[in-house]
Structure formats: C-alpha cells, structure tokens
C-alpha cells in the first residue's frame, strides 16, 4: 500500500516537474522568438541575457514613466497655484470695488456661484457639480474663505449702496422742484409707499430734505 502511494506521489511530482519544464521552455522560446533568434540557437545563456536585458529595459521604462508623472504633477501643481493666485487677486479687487462703489451686484459675481448638472436616473435625480476646482480654478464655485469674505463685506457694500441712493434721490429733488411736489403728493399715499423699498427711501429723503429747507 505504501509502495503504491509512493509511486503515485512520484508520478505526480514527475508530471508537475515536466509541466514546469514545458512552461519554462515555452517562455524561453517565446523570448528568443521576440528577438528573432532561432530555437536551435536559443541557449540558456542567451535566454538569461535576453531576460536580463528586458528586465533592465522595463525598469528603465518604469523609471522614465515615474519621472514624467512626477514632472507632470509638479507642473500641474504650479499651474493650479498660479491660477488660484490670479483668482485670489481678481476676487480681492472685485470685492474692493464693490465696497468702494456700493455695488451689491458686483459683490454677487466676485466668484462663480456653484452650478450643477442634474441627471435623472429612474426615480431619483443626481446632482453633479459642473466644475472641478482641480480642473479650472477660474470657474470653480466660491470657496468657504471667499464666501466668508463676501459676507463680511456685504454690510459695507449695502451701507454704501444706500448712501448712494439717498444722494441720488436728494439730487433729483434739488434739481427739479416739480418732482418735489409730485413726490410730496405720492408720499402721502400708502399705496405708493407699499410699492417698493425705493419709494419708502425717497419719501424718507424727502422728509429730511424738507426739514433742512425749513
């Protein structure tokens, strides 16, 4: 019984060795074939030389690929840093002009608002940002820092805008006495005051203007 087991094991080992040798031989001849070397001249020494040569070539190619990738990443990092720096300068200038001029509309476009594309998938909708900050800093939505700067500047912008409107309305009254009379009549009507905030502001300016005159 033991003898039979030993024979079976020996046969199995021999079969495995033969299969392994066949695989190695196949790899050897394929290697020689790639380099146009006939099978009868494909010695073990030549095979090892070719294998070493291909191994070195692949290593060199991998090193070259990694170097190119590293170079690309450095260039991409430099590009993004430059574009974010340009965006920051443009953003700061826009906020400054909005504050100095009292221009809420300008403040609203200091940086792009987030835009999304809606994809309908069966019964649900998937919202995907249209722009990626990594791809295009110029088009990327407002960052948290930019949004904080906008909110911080908003009271100053609105105060300046209100002062500009009061100055404009007062100038209209000074230049046109007929307009004053029309405005006096309108401001006595609640319906006029209820139309919009500008009418309320005009009437407030009128009241101050008339007090100064008398």
What is the tens place of the pLDDT at every residue in 76-132? Answer: 889 889 999 999 999 999 999 999 999 999 998 898 876 555 555 656 666 555 556
Give residue 122's pLDDT.
58
> Which secondary structure element, helix H or strand E, spans residue 126, and what is its range?
strand 124-129
Closest-CA residue to 117 (of 107, 106, 126)? 126
* 148 pLDDT above the threshold of 80: yes
Give residue 147's pLDDT.
92
pTM (2 d.p.): 0.61
Continuous H helices in the chain: 2-34, 44-101, 104-108, 144-175, 177-187, 190-195, 197-213
* pLDDT tens string 163-196: 999 998 888 888 888 888 888 888 888 888 888 8
């Amino acid at each position: 019984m033991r003898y039979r087991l030993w024979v079976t094991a020996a046969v199995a080992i021999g079969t495995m060795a033969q299969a392994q040798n066949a695989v190695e031989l196949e790899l050897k001849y394929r290697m020689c074939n790639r380099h146009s070397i006939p099978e009868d001249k494909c010695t073990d020494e030549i095979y090892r030389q070719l294998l070493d040569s291909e191994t070195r070539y692949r290593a060199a190619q991998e090193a070259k690929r990694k170097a190119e990738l590293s170079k690309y990443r450095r260039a991409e990092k430099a590009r993004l840093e430059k574009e974010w720096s340009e965006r920051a300068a443009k953003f700061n200038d826009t906020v400054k002009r909005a504050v100095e001029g009292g221009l809420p509309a300008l403040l609203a476009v200091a940086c792009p608002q987030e835009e999304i594309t809606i994809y309908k998938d069966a019964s649900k909708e998937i919202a995907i940002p249209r722009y990626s900050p990594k791809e295009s800093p110029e088009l990327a939505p407002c960052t948290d820092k930019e949004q904080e700067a906008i909110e911080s500047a908003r009271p100053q912008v609105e105060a300046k805008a209100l002062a500009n409107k009061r100055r404009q309305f007062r100038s209209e009254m000074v230049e046109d006495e007929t307009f004053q009379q029309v405005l006096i009549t309108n401001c006595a009507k609640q319906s006029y005051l209820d139309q919009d905030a500008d009418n309320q502001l005009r009437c407030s300016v009128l009241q101050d203007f008339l007090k100064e005159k008398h």
